[in-house]
Homo-oligomer: A and B are copies of this chain.
Amino acid sequence: MPAKVDPEDAVKRLVAAIDEDRLWRRHLEIATFGETGRGGVNRQALSKAETEAKQAFLRWATAADYETGTDAIGNIFVRRAGAEPGAAPVVAGSHLDSQPTGGNFDGVYGVLAALEVLDAASGIGLGTKRGLEAVVWMNEEGARFQPSTMGSSVFAGEFPLAAALASQDRSGVTVEDALRAQMTVLDVEQVVPFGAPMAAYLEAHIEQGPILEATQKTIGVVTGIQGLRWFQIDVRGEEGHAGTTPHLGRRDAMAAAANMVTALQRLMRDESDRVRFTVGRFEVSPNSPNTIPGHVLFTIDFRHPGAETLRRLGDQVEAVCHDHAGGCDITVRQTIETPPATFDTAISDQIRAAAARQGLPNMDILSGATHDAKYMTGLCPTGMIFVPCEGGRSHTEIESATSGDLVAGARVLAEVMVRLACA
What is A's interface to B at a CB cutoff of 8 Å? 99-101, 106, 141-143, 146, 148, 207-210, 226, 228, 230, 238-249, 252, 254-255, 257-259, 261-262, 265, 270, 273, 275-294, 299, 301, 303, 367-370, 392-397
Q: Identify A368's interface contact among B141, B209, B244, B262, CB under 8 A.
A: B244
Chain B residues near A287 (CB, 8 Å)? 100, 280-283
| B282→A282 contact, CB < 8 A | yes
| B281→A288 contact, CB < 8 A | yes
Closest Cβ–Cβ distance, residue A335 to chain B (whole Å): 9
Closest B-chain residue to A262, C-beta based? B262
Q: How far is the CA of A106 from the CA of B249 in the complex (A)?
A: 20
Q: How far is the CA of A101 from the CA of B237 in the complex (A)?
A: 14
Chain B residues near A270 (CB, 8 Å)? 247
Beyond the given A101-B285, A106-B241, A254-B282, please list 18 additional residue pairs across the A-B interface where CB-CB is below 8 A: A143-B288, A143-B291, A210-B249, A239-B396, A241-B394, A243-B368, A244-B276, A245-B368, A245-B393, A254-B278, A254-B279, A255-B279, A258-B262, A258-B265, A283-B287, A290-B301, A290-B395, A292-B395
Q: A262-B258, A265-B259, A282-B284 are in contact. Are A242 and B289 (CB under 8 A)?
A: no
| B209→A245 contact, CB < 8 A | yes
Q: How far is the CA of A285 from the CA of B143 in the complex (A)?
A: 12
Chain B residues near A392 (CB, 8 Å)? 240, 244-245, 249
Chain B residues near A241 (CB, 8 Å)? 106, 208-209, 368-369, 394-395
Closest Cβ–Cβ distance, residue A220 to chain B (whole Å): 11
Closest B-chain residue to A259, C-beta based? B262
Closest B-chain residue to A280, C-beta based? B289
Q: How far is the CA of A248 from the CA of B396 in the complex (A)?
A: 18
Interface centre among A258, A290, A299 (most CB of B within 10 A): A290
| B289→A281 contact, CB < 8 A | yes
Q: How far is the CA of A255 from the CA of B176 in the complex (A)?
A: 35
Q: How far is the CA of A273 from the CA of B395 in the complex (A)?
A: 44
Chain B residues near A101 (CB, 8 Å)? 239, 285-286, 291, 294
Q: How far is the CA of A292 from the CA of B101 in the complex (A)?
A: 11
Chain B residues near A395 (CB, 8 Å)? 239-242, 288, 290-292
Closest Cβ–Cβ distance, residue A329 to chain B (whole Å): 16
| B230→A289 contact, CB < 8 A | yes
Q: How far is the CA of A209 from the CA of B243 in the complex (A)?
A: 9
Q: How far is the CA of A390 from the CA of B209 in the complex (A)?
A: 55
Q: Identify A99's interface contact among B286, B394, B396, CB under 8 A.
A: B286
Chain B residues near A148 (CB, 8 Å)? 289-290
Chain B residues near A289 (CB, 8 Å)? 142-143, 146, 148, 230, 278, 280-281, 299, 301
Q: A239-B396, A368-B243 are in contact. Are A279 and B261 (CB under 8 A)?
A: no
Q: Identify A142's interface contact among B252, B290, B370, CB under 8 A.
A: B290
| A261→B255 contact, CB < 8 A | yes
Q: Which 4 A-B pairs have the closest CB atoms?
A: A244-B368, A258-B261, A239-B396, A242-B278
Q: How far is the CA of A394 from the CA of B241 in the complex (A)?
A: 5
| B244→A258 contact, CB < 8 A | no
Interface centre among A209, A248, A249, A280 (most CB of B within 10 A): A280
Q: How far is the CA of A287 from the CA of B278 in the complex (A)?
A: 11
| B290→A278 contact, CB < 8 A | yes
Q: Identify A242's interface contact among B146, B255, B284, B303, CB under 8 A.
A: B303
